[in-house]
Amino acid sequence: MSFLLKRFAFYLVTAWAAVTINFLVPRLIPGDPVQALITKQRGQMTTEAVRSLYVLFGLDKNESLAEQYVHYLGQLLRGDLGLSFTFFPSPVADVIGTGLPWTVGLVGITTVIGFAIGTAAGTVAGWRRGSWADALIPITTFLSSIPYFWLGLVAIALLTGPASFFPAGGAYETGLVPGWDWEFVGSVLRHSLLPAVTILISSVSGWILSMRNMMVTVSSEDYVTVAHAKGLSERRVMVAYAARNALLPNVSGFALALGFIVGGTLLVEIVFSYPGLGLQLFQAVGAKDYPLMQGIFLIITLSVLLANLLADVAYLALDPRTRREG
């Protein structure tokens, strides 16, 4: 258990660091773009809303940095992330609330599936080194060098159109009322298919390469030779001895790489106009909507931390050496 506790403490520290970066960035950088935006919208904002933006961006010059920090943390704990300018006058928290489920559904699920497929393919590629499986390597290298969003652009150009099965954008047919009925769910699936495949193609190749290299490394361990010497079936040696051990570094690599991957996948949402956090971030950048940008950064960081914690739990279940002896 101490392993998980340690990790948990680390994630708390990281979350705190992310919050602090968020606090410091607007204060360190000269110019008060937020002030300008507030001035423009002043007439339509309640005094509380203005107050909360003042706390978030350090516009109250009468407070010391320490005081600002205390107020800032207090406000975050209440879940107040300020008002969004793009979606005026919705609070940032509400805006993120509408985007988050779509992102978790699309990016979260495809990332996990991509990892699973890539690991499985990498297992075979590493095991059958020196055979046809080696041809996968140049292809996957090329694919993994393409930015996610560009692949999305190509997919749209090639596969969508007025007569196509695939819609070019959005998360569901306009005019449908969200709910748990077949028509809606079917439409959601149809709209997410192409973005999902785009993410899968780009992310799978990285996992194939790393799992293949781990398989090659693990295959020369003594216990794999012992497994062969025991006359076990090829399948059992590959799965229970080689892949089972090669998986461990891949899982920790997965946790570490999440921070990198999420950035790329969010971009796919932009290309497909998929109404998740990535699209909102894009809109926020375009409109210089700082409260929304910062809110999205915080939420993405927290989600990645949570995903990391889940990966740690998985690692714990996979590697007996991290479990407490007894």
Partner 1 sequence: MRSNPKALTGLLLLGVFVVLAVAGPWLAPFDPSQRSSDLLLPPSSAHWFGTTHLGQDIFSQVLVGTRSVVFVGAVAGVVATVLSVLVGVTSGYLSGSAGEGLSALSNVFLVIPALPLIIIITSSLPQTSNLTIALTIGLTSWAWNARVLRAQTLSLRRRDYVEAARATGESTWRIIVFEILPNLTAVIASGFVGTVLFAVVSEITLAFIGVSDAGGWNWGTVLYWAQSQQALAQGAWWWFVPAGLAIAVLGTALSLVNFGIDEYVNPRLRGRTSARGVRMRVGFTPVLSEEAS
Partner 2 sequence: MSDRVLEIRGLTVQYGLGADAVQAVRDVTLTLHRGEVLGLAGESGSGKSTLAYGMTRLLPPPGVVRGGEVLFHTDDGETVDVLRMRDAELRRFRWAEVALVFQGAMNSLNPVQRVSTQLMDVIKAHAPRSSAMSRKARARELLALVNISADRLDSYPHQLSGGMRQRVMIAMALALEPRVVIMDEPTTALDVVVQRQILSTLAELRERLGFSVVFITHDLSLLAEFADRIAIMYGGRVVEEAASADLYRTPLHPYSDGLLRSFPALKGPRRELSGIPGSPPDLRAMPAGCAFHPRCPRAMDRCGDHSPELGVPTGHAGDDRTVACWLHPVV
**77 near partner 2 (CB under 8 A):** no
| Contact assessment for residue 104 and residue 300, using Cβ atoms and an 8 Å cutoff | no
**Which window, 22-30, 38-46, 95-103, 179-187, contacts partner 1 (CB under 8 A)?**
22-30
Tell me which residue of 238, 252, 248 sits closest to 124, measured CA to CA: 238
Number of residues that bind partner 1 (CB under 8 A): 67
- Whole-number Cα distances in Å, 129 to 195, 224, 248: 32, 15, 20
Tell me which residue of 238, 204, 225, 210 sits closest to 117, measured CA to CA: 204
Extract the tokens encoding 181: 């009925």
Tell me which residue of 162, 151, 163, 139 sits closest to 194, measured CA to CA: 151
| Contact assessment for residue 281 and residue 245, using Cβ atoms and an 8 Å cutoff | no
**268 near partner 1 (CB under 8 A):** no
Q: How far apart are CA 239 and CA 236, in angstroms?
A: 5
Name which of residues 122 to 141 contact partner 1 (CB under 8 A): 129-131, 141
Binding partner of residue 314 among partner 1, partner 2, none, CB cut-off 5 to 8 Å per kind:
none
Helices (H), 237-276: 244-271
Name which of residues 296 to 325 contact partner 2 (CB under 8 A): 318-321, 325
Q: How would you class 152 by CB atoms within 10 Å of its CB: exposed for 0-12, middle for 13-18, buried for 19 or more? A: buried
- In angstroms, the first-to-last Cα distance of the chain is 12
**235 near partner 2 (CB under 8 A):** no
Sign, Cα dihedral of 89, 93, 94, 99: positive
Q: How far apart are CA 311 and CA 258, in angstroms?
A: 10
Number of residues that bind partner 2 (CB under 8 A): 25
Q: Which is nearer to partner 2, 27 or 244 (CB)?
A: 244
Interface with partner 1 (CB under 8 A), residue from 65, 263, 310, 317: 263
**141 near partner 2 (CB under 8 A):** no
| Contact assessment for residue 119 and residue 242, using Cβ atoms and an 8 Å cutoff | no
Q: Which is nearer to partner 2, 243 or 279 (CB)?
A: 243
Could you give the string, one character per residue 208-227, with x where binding to partner 1 holds by CB under 8 A and - elsewhere? -----x--xx-xx---xx-x
Q: How far apart are CA 281 and CA 323, in angstroms?
A: 40
**Which window, 19-27, 68-76, 177-185, 312-320, contacts partner 1 (CB under 8 A)?**
19-27
Interface with partner 2 (CB under 8 A), residue from 8, 16, 165, 223: 223
DSSP 297: H
**231 near partner 2 (CB under 8 A):** yes
Binding partner of residue 231 among partner 1, partner 2, none, CB cut-off 5 to 8 Å per kind:
partner 2
**215 near partner 2 (CB under 8 A):** no
Q: How far apart are CA 223 and CA 221, in angstroms?
A: 6
* Residues near partner 2 (CB under 8 A): 220-223, 225-234, 236, 240-241, 244-245, 248, 318-321, 325
Name the site residues for partner 1 (rule: CB under 8 A): 10-11, 13-14, 17-18, 21-22, 25-26, 29-31, 33, 129-131, 141-142, 144-147, 149-150, 153-154, 156-157, 168, 213, 216-217, 219-220, 224-225, 227-229, 237, 256, 258-260, 262-264, 266-267, 270-271, 281-282, 285-286, 288, 290, 293-294, 296-297, 300-301, 304-305, 308
